C-alpha cells in the first residue's frame, strides 16, 4: 500500500508550559478529505500549523511526515502544500490576478505559463478572470475573496491543501454552497484536503474521515457515520450532534450488549462498554432521534423503555423536540418528525405520562473522557 | 442639555437642529470652525502678509515700504543663495534618507516585539520630553574637540589629535537625523503594526523566502508609513535652522538661517519673506512630485 500523504507520529507541541498538542498520531491518505474538528482551544489549529510548518514539534515531540519524509524542521515554503486561511489573507496591495500569481512567481514559473494557469485557476473556482482579474481584494464580496484564496492555493497544484476554517465568515447559504464545491474540487483534482473546523455539521457533510480533538488529544478518529453512530466518549457524543445521557453502573453483558443498572435498579442495554469492571460508573448516550415516545401500555418488543412524563414540547417546524422527565430522575429529549395525524395520532402535551423507548443498538456505553 | 433651562432655549435648540438637519454641511462646518479659524488668523493671514512683503521694498530700519518689485526673488538667484538652497535640499534629502534607512528597521523590530511594543515606542518618543535646543547643545558637548567622543578616542589612543566634528556637514547631518528620526519611526511603526501577520504566513506557504516576504509584502504594505514619515522628516528638515546654527556654524548655513538672519540681523524683511516662499515652493514641488509618482506606480491603490 502507498505511504500516507501525511503522518503524525506521537506529535507534541508545548507553548510556554501549555501543552497545545499531546502526543497525537494519525495518518491521511492520498486524495482524502480529512477534517480536524473540535472546540476552540482543543489543539486543532496547532495541529494544522504543525503540518503547515509554522510551528515545529517539541524536541522529542514525535515526527510530522509529509509524503514519507520527516519535515519537523522544514519551513512552510519547503513543504509541498498550500493553505487557505481563516480570513483569506489576500494581499490587499495586489490585484486578484497578482494574488493568484504570487506563488507561481515565487517558484519561478515562466511568465506565459503563469498567465494561463492563473486564468485556469480562477475558472476552476468559478470566478470570471476577465471581470475580476484586475480588481483589488477590497472590491470583492466575502464569497469572491474566498474563491480567490482557493484559486491562489490550487494554482500551485499542491499535493496537500490545508484549510483553516475557511467558511467561517460566510453566510449560511453561501457556506452550504461552498461546502459542496470544496468537496467536488477535492474529488475532481485528487488533492488531499486537510480541513480544520469547529462546525460539526460542516465536518460531517464534507469529510471522508474526521479527527475529533479535545483537550490537545484526538478524542476519536473515523468516518462521519462511525463517529456519529458510535461516539466513544461523552465529549464526542455531545460535540457531534446532540445526545441524551443516562447514568448507571456496569452490570455485565447480555449477548453483544452491555447491561447498565440504573439508580432504581432497572437495567438498560447498549453497545460497547467492553472491558469495564462490574459496578463501574458508566454513561450511556442515545441520540434524540433514536428515542421514541409511546403510550405506557404500548412498549414494543425488544426495546428498552423508561417511564417518563412530558415536560416541554419544542416546536421546530419540521421537527418536534419533546423533553421528558424520567421517573427515576434525569431527562431525555425525543426528536420526532412533525408528521400528520394519520401516522402520528398522539399529540404529546405537557404532563402526559409516556414511555421513552429506544433500541439497545442505538444506545452507546461511553468510554471515560481522558484527563 | 442646554435646552433644559426654559422653553425659549429649547425652542432655539430645536430650531437649530431642524435647520441644520436639512443642511448637513452646516454641522460639519460648525465642528471645523475653531480649527479653521485658528489656522486662518494665525497662519493664513500672516502668510498673506509675508507674500505681500516679499514683493515690497525694504524699509530702512526693518519693515517694508509700499511698492512692487521682483528684486528679492531675483536676488535669490545669486550663486551665493542658490548654494545655500542646494545645501538645504541636500541636507533635507540626506536626513530623510538616513532616517528612513535607520528608522525602518527600528520600527520593524518594535512592531514585532509583542508585549514590549509600548515600552519601546515610549523610549522612541522620550527625547521629546526635553527641548530640542537643550538636546542640540548636548550634542555640542559630545562632538567638540574636548567633548566626550574625542576625549574617549584619545584616551584609548585611537587618535592623537581630536577629530574635528563640530562645524562640519557631518555634525549638521548627525544633528538633523537625531532630531527627526522619531518622526520617521512613528508612522512606519503604525503601518507595520497594522500588518496582518497571516499575510506573511500566506506568503511563506506560497513559497516566499524571508527576503521576498519583505520586498513583496511588508515593504509595499508599509509604504503609507514610509511616505508619511519621509514627508514628516523632509519638510521640517528643509526649514530647520537651529541644528545648522549650533552644530554647523557659519559655513553650513541653511535657508532657515538665511531667513532668520534677514529678519533679525539684516532687517531685510522682504528678502527674508521671498526666501521663505522659495523654500515653500520647493516643498510643494517635492511633495506633489512624490505623491504623484506614487499614484502612478500603485494602481492597486493603498
Whether residues A336 and A230 share a domain: the answer is no
Q: Cα–Cα–Cα angle for B175, B179, B182, nearest 5°?
A: 140
Q: What is the pLDDT of residues A284-340, one digit of tens each?
A: 999 999 999 999 888 999 999 999 999 999 988 888 899 999 998 889 999 988 876
Tell me whether residue A360 is in a domain.
yes
Nearest residue, CB atoms, B207 vs list A77, A94, A136: A77
pLDDT(A58) > 50: yes
Q: What is the pLDDT of residues A89-140, one digit of tens each?
A: 999 999 999 999 999 999 999 999 999 999 999 998 999 999 999 999 999 9
pLDDT(B24) > 90: no
Contacts of B298 in chain A (CB under 8 A): 93
Whether residues A225 and A272 share a domain: the answer is no
Q: What is the ipTM of this complex?
A: 0.84
Q: List the CATH number of the domain containing A69.
A: 3.40.50.300
Tell me whether residue A371 is in a domain.
no
Contacts of B201 in chain A (CB under 8 A): 52, 54, 76, 83, 85, 89
Whether residues A226 and A274 share a domain: the answer is no
Whether residues A28 and A177 share a domain: the answer is yes
pLDDT(A212) > 50: yes
Contact A102 B203 (CB under 8 A): yes
Count: domains in chain A: 2
Nearest residue, CB atoms, B204 vs list A77, A91, A93: A77
Contact B208 A93 (CB under 8 A): no
Show the domain range for A309.
Answer: 242-365
- Could you tell me how many CB contacts below 8 A there are between chain A and chain B? 66
Contact A103 B220 (CB under 8 A): no
- Beta carbons of A148 and A128 less than 8 angstroms apart: no
Banded pLDDT at B25 (limits 50, 70, 90): confident
pLDDT(A357) > 60: yes
- Beta carbons of A102 and A91 less than 8 angstroms apart: yes
Probe site for chain A from B204, B205, B227 (most A CB atoms < 10 A) = B205
φ, ψ (nearest 5 deg) of residue B162: -60, 140
CA dist A47 to A72, B194, B203, Å? 12, 27, 20
Tell me whether residue A370 is in a domain.
no
Query: How far is it, in rounded angstroms, from Cα B86 to Cα A268?
Result: 96
User: According to the 3-state scheme, what is the secondary structure of B110-159?
Assistant: HHCCHHHHHHHHHHHHHHHHCCHHHHHHHHHHHHCCCCHHHHHHHHCCCC
Probe site for chain B from A48, A55, A92, A132 (most B CB atoms < 10 A) = A92
Nearest residue, CB atoms, A54 vs list B199, B201, B209: B201
CB contacts under 8 A, B 133-192 vs A, are: none
Secondary structure (3-state) at B104 = helix
Whether residues A231 and A331 share a domain: the answer is no
Q: What is the pLDDT of residues A121-134, one digit of tens each?
A: 999 899 999 999 99
Whether residues A255 and A108 share a domain: the answer is no
> Among residues A185, A205, A235, which one ends one of the domains?
A235
> Among residues A213, A235, A257, which one ends one of the domains?
A235
Q: Domain B71-297: give its CATH code.
A: 1.10.3720.10
Contacts of B217 in chain A (CB under 8 A): 91
Amino acid at each position: 500500500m502507498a505511504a500516507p500523504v501525511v503522518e503524525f507520529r506521537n506529535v507534541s507541541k508545548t507553548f510556554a508550559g501549555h501543552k497545545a498538542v499531546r502526543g497525537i498520531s494519525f495518518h491521511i491518505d492520498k486524495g482524502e478529505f480529512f477534517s480536524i474538528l473540535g472546540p476552540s482551544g482543543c489543539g486543532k489549529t496547532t495541529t494544522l500549523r504543525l503540518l503547515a510548518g509554522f510551528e515545529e514539534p517539541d524536541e522529542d515531540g514525535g515526527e510530522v511526515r509529509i509524503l514519507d519524509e520527516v519535515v519537523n524542521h522544514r519551513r512552510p515554503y519547503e513543504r509541498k502544500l498550500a493553505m487557505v486561511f481563516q480570513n483569506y489573507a489576500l494581499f490587499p496591495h495586489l490585484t486578484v490576478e497578482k494574488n493568484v500569481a504570487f506563488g507561481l512567481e515565487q517558484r519561478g514559473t515562466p511568465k506565459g505559463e503563469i498567465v494561463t494557469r492563473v486564468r485556469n485557476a480562477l475558472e476552476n473556482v468559478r470566478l470570471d478572470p476577465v471581470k475580476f482579474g484586475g480588481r483589488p481584494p477590497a472590491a470583492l464580496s466575502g464569497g469572491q475573496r474566498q474563491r480567490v484564496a482557493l484559486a491562489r492555493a490550487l494554482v500551485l497544484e499542491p499535493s496537500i491543501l490545508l484549510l483553516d476554517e475557511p467558511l467561517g465568515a460566510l453566510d449560511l447559504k453561501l457556506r452550504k454552497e461552498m461546502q459542496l464545491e470544496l468537496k467536488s474540487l477535492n474529488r475532481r483534482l485528487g488533492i488531499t484536503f486537510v480541513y480544520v473546523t469547529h462546525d460539526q455539521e460542516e465536518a460531517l457533510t464534507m469529510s471522508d474521515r474526521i479527527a475529533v480533538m479535545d483537550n490537545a488529544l484526538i478524542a476519536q478518529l473515523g468516518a462521519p457515520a462511525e463517529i456519529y453512530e458510535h461516539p466513544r466518549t461523552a465529549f464526542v457524543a455531545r460535540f457531534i450532534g446532540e445526545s441524551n445521557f443516562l447514568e448507571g453502573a456496569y452490570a455485565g453483558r447480555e449477548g453483544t450488549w452491555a447491561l447498565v443498572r440504573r439508580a432504581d435498579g432497572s437495567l438498560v442495554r447498549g453497545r460497547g462498554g467492553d472491558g469495564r469492571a462490574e459496578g463501574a460508573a458508566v454513561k450511556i448516550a442515545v441520540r434524540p432521534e433514536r428515542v421514541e415516545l409511546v403510550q405506557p401500555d404500548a412498549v414494543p418488543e425488544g426495546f428498552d423503555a423508561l417511564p417518563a412524563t412530558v415536560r416541554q414540547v419544542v416546536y421546530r417546524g419540521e421537527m418536534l423536540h419533546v423533553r421528558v422527565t424520567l421517573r427515576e430522575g434525569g431527562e431525555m429529549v425525543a426528536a420526532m418528525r412533525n408528521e400528520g395525524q394519520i401516522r402520528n395520532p398522539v399529540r404529546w402535551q405537557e404532563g402526559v405520562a409516556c414511555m421513552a423507548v429506544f433500541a439497545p443498538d442505538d444506545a452507546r456505553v461511553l468510554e471515560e473522557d481522558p484527563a | 442639555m442646554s435646552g433644559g433651562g426654559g422653553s425659549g432655549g429649547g425652542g432655539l435648540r430645536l430650531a437649530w437642529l431642524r435647520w441644520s438637519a436639512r443642511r448637513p454641511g452646516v454641522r460639519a462646518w460648525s465642528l471645523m470652525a475653531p480649527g479653521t479659524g485658528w489656522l486662518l488668523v494665525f497662519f493664513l493671514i500672516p502668510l498673506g502678509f509675508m507674500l505681500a512683503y516679499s514683493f515690497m521694498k525694504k524699509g530702512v530700519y526693518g519693515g517694508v515700504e509700499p511698492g512692487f518689485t521682483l528684486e528679492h526673488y531675483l536676488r535669490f538667484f545669486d550663486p551665493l543663495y542658490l548654494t545655500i538652497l542646494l545645501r538645504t535640499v541636500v541636507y533635507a534629502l540626506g536626513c530623510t534618507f538616513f532616517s528612513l534607512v535607520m528608522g525602518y528597521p527600528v520600527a520593524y523590530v518594535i512592531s514585532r516585539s509583542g508585549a514590549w511594543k509600548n515600552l519601546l515606542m515610549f523610549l522612541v518618543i522620550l527625547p521629546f520630553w526635553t527641548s530640542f535646543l537643550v538636546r542640540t547643545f548636548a550634542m555640542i558637548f559630545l562632538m567638540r574637540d574636548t567633548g566626550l567622543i574625542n576625549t574617549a578616542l584619545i584616551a584609548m589612543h585611537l587618535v592623537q589629535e581630536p577629530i574635528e566634528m563640530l562645524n562640519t556637514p557631518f555634525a549638521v547631518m548627525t544633528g538633523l537625523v537625531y532630531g527627526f528620526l522619531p518622526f520617521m519611526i512613528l508612522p512606519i511603526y503604525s503601518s507595520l503594526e497594522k500588518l496582518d501577520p497571516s499575510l506573511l504566513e500566506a506568503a511563506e506557504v506560497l513559497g516566499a523566502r524571508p527576503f521576498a516576504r519583505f520586498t513583496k509584502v511588508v515593504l509595499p504594505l508599509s509604504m503609507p508609513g514610509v511616505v508619511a514619515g519621509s514627508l514628516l522628516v523632509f519638510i521640517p528638515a528643509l526649514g530647520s535652522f537651529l541644528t545648522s546654527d549650533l552644530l554647523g556654524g557659519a559655513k553650513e548655513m541653511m535657508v532657515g538661517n538665511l531667513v532668520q538672519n534677514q529678519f533679525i540681523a539684516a532687517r531685510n524683511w522682504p528678502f527674508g519673506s521671498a526666501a521663505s516662499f522659495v523654500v515653500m515652493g520647493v516643498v510643494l514641488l517635492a511633495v506633489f512630485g512624490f505623491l504623484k509618482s506614487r499614484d502612478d506606480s500603485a494602481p492597486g491603490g493603498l
